[in-house]
Amino acid sequence: MPLTLNVNVSKKVGEPDYGSRGASVTLQQEIDGSLVHNPAQLQSQIKSLFQQAREAVEEELFGRTVSTGATENGASSNGNGHHRQANGRRATDSQVRALHAIANRQKIDLRSLLDRQYQLGRPEDLSLQEASQLIDELNSESAQKGGRL
């Protein structure tokens, strides 16, 4: 007798001016009923289905997947030593403005920097912590060059 697995993943992210946007996906898969006698294999099927659903939601919300190097605590690696928190807060408007201002002042191509260090195209896609660290790094580099911000 076949079993039907249903998983649902929803995520909502904050936007400027108290807005938000969300995405939700429900996946259904029919599996062999004998898996109830093999809990480890059943759990593996369930985890796989949830991972696919999470990736679909991330792709819908952010236009990219964060599945590379997934860890058990929900963090994932972007392959460059940086770890993204799948449910972390996004960079604030103030941080985004600061990054643009610092990059302009230092004549840095912000888009290239974000792509190289985080595999992202926009500072809005940074986490709160990543944005804060990048601002500190850029300010530190400016101070080392003798510049004033």
Q: Are residues 95 and 144 in the same domain?
A: yes
Q: Are residues 95 and 127 in the same domain?
A: yes
Backbone angles phi, psi at 87, to 5 degrees: -110, 20
Q: Are residues 60 and 79 in the same domain?
A: no
> How much is the pTM?
0.44
Q: Are residues 91 and 141 in the same domain?
A: yes
| Contact (CB, 8 A) for 32 and 2 | yes
Domain count, the chain: 2
Give per-10-residue mean pLDDT for the chain (149 aa): 90 82 91 89 89 86 54 40 53 90 91 89 89 88 60
Q: Are residues 29 and 90 in the same domain?
A: no
Alpha helices in 8-109 (DSSP H): 39-62, 93-105
Cα 113 to Cα 7: distance, rounded to the nearest angstrom: 37
Q: Are residues 56 and 78 in the same domain?
A: no
Domain that residue 13 falls in? 3-65
Residue 64, pLDDT score: 54
Residue 55, pLDDT score: 87
Q: Are residues 54 and 84 in the same domain?
A: no
